[in-house]
């Protein structure tokens, strides 16, 4: 199975002291391919910056994902922006949800499930017909 990966999956997988670390690791291990939008990589690095994690550590961590044979990078284009704005409009959400809508637009475009623990994003994905993994969350 393939999946479009949300930022929280990478963050939870990175830090073994996080309560969702095991679930994130198991989810990634269960997927044959990780479709990771460029925006997710950017958000992942912003998280490191916010937490004061050194550049070299951030670089080492992101390179571990980029070098994995399951990694497939997704570029953001005008269609993703247009679709994201449509998703926000259809679901009556503000621009504060733009990043989530862009990530969701990639899942819609690829036709793969969205991998996320974000309950609001999961709800929106299901509302617009995108499967989510892992199963069984709120």
Residue 137 has a pLDDT of 72
**Two tokens at 103?**
């990530």
Residue 138 has a pLDDT of 58
Taking alpha carbons only, the member of 34, 45, 101, 43 closest to residue 71 is: 34
Sequence-ordered strand ranges (E) for 1-138: 2-5, 33-37, 71-74, 114-115, 132-133
Tell how strand 2-5 and strand 114-115 pair up. Answer: parallel
Backbone dihedral angles phi then psi of residue 3, each to the nearest 5 degrees: -155, 150
Q: For the residues 14-25, what does the mean pLDDT come to?
A: 95
Tell how strand 71-74 and strand 132-133 pair up. Answer: unpaired
Taking alpha carbons only, the member of 78, 71, 80, 129 closest to residue 100 is: 80
Say how far apart CA 36 and CA 74 lie, in whole Å. Answer: 6
Cα distances (Å, whole numbers) of residue 67 to 96, 114, 128: 32, 21, 32
Q: For the residues 85-106, what does the mean pLDDT come to?
A: 95
**Residue 77: pLDDT above 90?**
yes
Say how far apart CA 26 and CA 81 lie, in whole Å. Answer: 31
pTM of the model: 0.94
pLDDT by residue (tens digit) across 46-64? 999 999 999 999 999 999 9
């Amino acid at each position: 199975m393939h999946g479009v990966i949300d930022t929280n999956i990478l963050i939870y997988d990175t830090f073994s002291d996080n309560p969702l670390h095991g679930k994130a690791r198991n989810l990634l291990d269960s997927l044959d391919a990780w479709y990771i939008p460029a925006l997710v990589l950017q958000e992942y690095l912003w998280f490191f910056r916010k937490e004061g994690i050194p550049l070299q550590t951030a670089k080492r961590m992101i390179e571990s994902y980029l070098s994995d044979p399951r990694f497939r990078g997704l570029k953001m284009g005008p269609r993703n922006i247009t679709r994201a704005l449509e998703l926000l409009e259809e679901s009556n959400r503000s621009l504060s949800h733009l990043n989530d809508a862009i990530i969701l637009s990639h899942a819609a475009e690829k036709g793969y499930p969205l991998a996320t623990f974000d309950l609001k994003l999961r709800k929106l994905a299901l509302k617009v017909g995108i499967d989510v993994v892992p199963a069984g969350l709120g």
